[in-house]
Structure 1
Amino acid sequence: MKKLALALAFASFAATAFAAPVTYVIDPTHTQPRFEYNHFGYSNQVHSFDKTSGTIVYDAQAKTGSVDVTIDATSVNTGYALLNQHIQDEDFFDTAKYPTITFKSTAVKFQGDKVVAVDGNLTIKGVTKPVTLTVTSFQAMPHPIMKKDAIGANAVTHIKRTEFNMGKYAPYVSDDVTLEIPVEAVAVGKE
């Protein structure tokens, strides 16, 4: 009996020793961050960014991870070319000076086996602020088409654009902005 217990303990230790974090590369074709704000009280406007890159490190066993996302602010998509240009001007994203938006995690929070929140630093227009992304859904499983390990999530946070030097027309165009990030990522080197 002692030998069996010792063998099981060793097997458990060996599995833990060999478990490692997996790095996933963001799939830009299934990741499209979007932001929503109220426009002069008339309606809520929702716009997105067409180009996103980055990596996610996920260790299900150790319940740890990290997120590093870069959004190309010049890829803002309002559905209207003139408005795309207006939002990239100095009063808003100022993409001539600040072409990217970044999020770098400081902590990943789990509830059981699921990621439920990611704390980190959001940088927009050269200003960095701590934010928490609330993860509303999370999935880790082999991708049915790519036949590789993959993860996906939907995350949301709320920011004030005045805190990022983007306060033109506030409060008439709402200061409060909802930022949503639907993301999918595929494991590096996993077949």
Structure 2
Amino acid sequence: MNTLSTVSAALFLATGLAVSASPVFAAPETYTLDSTHTFPRFSYSHFGLSTQLSRFNKTTGTIVIDKAAKTAKVDILIDTTSVDTGFATFDEHIQGPDFLDTAKYPTATFKSNKVRFEGDKPVALEGDLTIKGITKPVTLSITSFTNMPHPMLKKDAIGANAQVVIKRSEFNAGKYAPNVGDEVTIDIAVEAVKN
């Protein structure tokens, strides 16, 4: 083997080793919320008689996640005019000025600024919740998280449930508290599909 061939072989081998030893960096991936399977629900004590559960029917948003770097960003927009208590009169009441005041504030938002991971799974979302134009920092506990191919859409998908307890009086929606509970549990079921 001549000198040129020997040098070429050495360079090829060195390059191959360098490539194989380089870490693989994943890029952030964007997922769009599936509005037909994403529902923020809220529950509260009604005079101590029962815990009432309602939901919002229209929610949009995105999740951007980098699995290798263990970072993520979540943006959620809730159409508060889509509140569903199961009774039209209550829907109108909750949309009124004493509660959500949807004529002035037709949306609520959550924007994350930090995600905590345990291993490969996110376990908490820290961010800003805005209701009635009032923004407060909150931490949502992620109670379940799955990342898998969607069996129907044949695309990568994310599913999760997250929960936080807020005081509605802190968002200027405290009418009838404490008889109607001031503490409200928000539980959001999320499904999102990769773009």
Band of TM-score, shorter chain: over 0.9
Could you list the structure 1 runs, at least 4 aligned residues long, displaced by more than 4 angstroms after superposition.
3-9
Which 5+ residue runs of structure 1 have no aligned equivalent?
A: none
Aligned partner of residue 175 in structure 2, secondary structure? coil
Which of 162, 165, 189 is the matching residue for 1:155?
162
Match in the other structure for 2:138: 131
Which 5+ residue runs of structure 2 have no aligned equivalent?
A: 1-11
Where do residues 19-168 of structure 1 align in structure 2 (5 Å cutoff)?
19-168=26-175
Q: Give, in angstroms, the shift of residue 142 of structure 1.
A: 1.0
- The 2-side partners of 1:38 and 1:28 are apart by 28
Identical aligned residues as a percent? 62
Q: Give, in angstroms, the shift of residue 12 of structure 1.
A: 5.0
Q: Give, in angstroms, the shift of residue 14 of structure 1.
A: 5.7
Q: Give, in angstroms, the shift of residue 42 of structure 1.
A: 0.8
Q: Give, in angstroms, the shift of residue 4 of structure 1.
A: 7.6
Aligned partner of residue 114 in structure 2, secondary structure? strand
Taking only aligned residues, the RMSD between alpha carbons, in angstroms, comes to 1.5
Q: Give, in angstroms, the shift of residue 39 of structure 1.
A: 0.5
TM-score (norm 1): 0.92
TM-score (norm 2): 0.90
Match in the other structure for 1:11: 20
Aligned partner of residue 79 in structure 1, secondary structure? coil
Please tell me whether Structure 1 or Structure 2 has the larger radius of gyration of its CA atoms.
2
Query: Aligned in 2, Cα 1:42/1:67: closer, same or farther, shift over 3 Å?
Result: same
Deviation string, structure 1 residues 90-134 (Cα, Å, up to 9, x no partner): 000000000001000010110000010000000001100000010
Letter in 2 for 1:112: G
Q: Give, in angstroms, the shift of residue 141 of structure 1.
A: 1.1
Query: Aligned in 2, Cα 1:8/1:126: closer, same or farther, shift over 3 Å?
Result: farther
- The 2-side partners of 1:82 and 1:4 are apart by 75
Aligned partner of residue 110 in structure 1, secondary structure? strand
- The 2-side partners of 1:156 and 1:12 are apart by 41
Match in the other structure for 2:193: 186
Q: Give, in angstroms, the shift of residue 15 of structure 1.
A: 2.2
Q: Give, in angstroms, the shift of residue 6 of structure 1.
A: 7.2
Letter in 1 for 2:100: F
